[in-house]
Chains A and B, each alone.
Chain A
């Protein structure tokens, strides 16, 4: 009898669970699984192949995430792992898990609004303050400290906050 740990399904699960612990270097409360960046883990001839997808075309965190996955797998005894970047289908904020959205909010970042509908050219958005929950907020800058964030301010509690851009 083959123990589950050594079956491909067992290996795959173990590799997935390991890769899923890697966090986004810019938002360390979110794992790449929460984000939906971790796309697939496969076992081919005993080798682990991980597929990840970028959030934004130029996201500089991808190289670091790749390295972190390789190191995490190596610590668990996996050798010759391969991390591939896939582009299709394109990542959207809709892939972010509910758990991920909650963690973002608790961390002080307003999570992306669900269903990334196209906005009008001069459209108005409603984003709730992650600190006090008020909807009385305003955008300070469409571009924030990383590609995936915009800078907002709450007019109720006066705190500035990051908003994870709906994309």
Chain B
């Protein structure tokens, strides 16, 4: 029978780490959905490679969250045995893959942020987070280069690819504001030098993204209304479906191992 969800004592540092772990896991899972379906073989490998990097980041972050919590949870329990409302990832990352352009726009928006974010986190006073950041930063840099090149190719490509890329930019734009949102618990971590304030990264992020989008002959929407809720567990309907696939084995056969 299905196994019940765990409870997590979300102290500020546990919650902070879980949010980043969930980001990496959910985006990694979305990218892995392309495996065997990508438009060309090289992209199949690229998307699976990036998914693997993100899964690796997620594992390190979950392990650390479990260690900080100290309640007997571990990376597997945190990934497999929390329900949709307990997930803390950005709404952007749970959005369905759509076509290849949509996946690449999502990747550009996130990796342009992750690259800056992890680079800043390398100076964290928390030694484990700083170490995870040092690995993740190089990986995000590589992911950003990959998605940037694709956005230019798609935007400045055919009429069809341009239209699809522009639609993806328009549709996903409202999910980008959440990357720069913080709450009171996180603010305390900034003051302690453990975390960085993402609001300070926004103008640099916008420079990178608008540079790529401009090169691609696409335009960023002028509408600045932003959707949020993922950080607090209020998700779009897509996450539940994603989790039912991601968690089905562990929920059906608790503790099953390879």
Q: Is B174 an interface residue (CB 8 A)?
A: no
Give Cα distance in the complex from A54 to B56, angstroms. Answer: 10
How many A residues touch B, CB cutoff 8 Å? 26
| Contact residue among A59, A141, A151 (Cβ-Cβ distance under 8 Å from B56) | A59
Q: Is the CB of A58 within 8 A of B42?
A: no
Encoded as 1 (CB less than 8 Å from any A CB) or 0, chain B from 45 to 89 comes to 110011011111101100000000000000000000000000000
Q: State whether A57 touches B145 (Cβ < 8 A).
A: no
Residues of A within 8 A of B149 (CB): 122
Question: Once the chains bind, are A58 and B131 in contact (CB under 8 Å)?
Answer: no
Is there contact, CB below 8 Å, between A87 and B45? no
Do B130 and A147 touch (CB < 8 A)?
A: no
Chain B contact patch, size range? 20 to 34
Q: Does A121 contact B (CB under 8 A)?
A: yes
Chain B residues with Cβ under 8 A from A121's Cβ? 144-145, 148, 208, 211-212
Report the minimum CB–CB distance from A116 to chain B (whole Å): 8
B132 within 8 Å of A (CB atoms): yes
Task: Decide: B53 and A58 in contact? CB cutoff 8 A.
Answer: yes
| Cβ contacts under 8 Å, B246 to chain A | none
- Within 8 Å by CB of B46, from A60, A88, A90, A142, lies A142
In the bound complex, CA of A60 to CA of B53 (Å): 10
| Measured CA separation A57–B134 after assembly (Å) | 10
| Contact residues in B for A87 (Cβ distance below 8 Å) | 60, 128, 131-132, 134-135
Residues of chain A with a CB closer than 8 A to B141's CB:
118-119
- Is B176 at the interface (CB under 8 A from chain A)? no
A-B contact count (CB 8 A): 81
List the A side residues contacting B52 at CB < 8 Å: 56, 58, 60, 147
Q: B54 to A142, Cβ gap below 8 A?
A: no
The listed residue (B53, B127, B212) touching A56 by CB distance below 8 A is B53
Does residue A78 face the partner (Cβ distance < 8 Å to B)?
no
Cα of A57 to Cα of B58 in the assembled complex, Å: 9
Q: Which residues of A contact B228 (CB under 8 A)?
A: none
- Cα separation A145 to B45 with both chains bound (whole Å): 7
Q: Are A56 and B139 closer than 8 Å at their CB atoms?
A: yes
Partner of A88, one of B54, B130, B144, B146: B130
**Cβ-defined contact, B142 with A57, below 8 A:** no
Contact between B42 and A57, CB atoms less than 8 A apart: no
- Whether B131 pairs with A88 at a CB distance below 8 angstroms is yes
The answer for the CA separation of A54 and B57 in the assembled complex, in Å, is 11
Residues of A within 8 A of B212 (CB): 121
Partner of A143, one of B46, B54, B59, B138: B46
Residues A144 and B131 in contact, CB atoms below 8 Å apart: no
Contact bitstring B200-230, A, C-beta under 8 A = 1, else 0 = 0000000010011000000000000000000
In the complex, per-residue mask of A31-44: 1 if CB is within 8 Å of any chain B CB, else 0: 00000000000000
**Hey, which bits of chain B sit against chain A, CB under 8 A?**
42, 45-46, 49-50, 52-57, 59-60, 127-128, 130-132, 134-136, 138-139, 141-142, 144-146, 148-149, 208, 211-212
21 contacts between A and B (CB under 8 A): A54-B135, A56-B139, A57-B139, A58-B52, A58-B54, A58-B57, A59-B56, A87-B135, A88-B127, A90-B134, A118-B141, A121-B144, A121-B212, A122-B149, A140-B42, A141-B42, A142-B145, A142-B146, A143-B50, A147-B49, A147-B52
Please give 9 more A-B residue pairs, beta carbons under 8 A apart, in addition to A141-B45, A143-B49. A57-B53, A57-B135, A87-B132, A116-B138, A122-B149, A143-B45, A143-B46, A147-B53, A167-B142
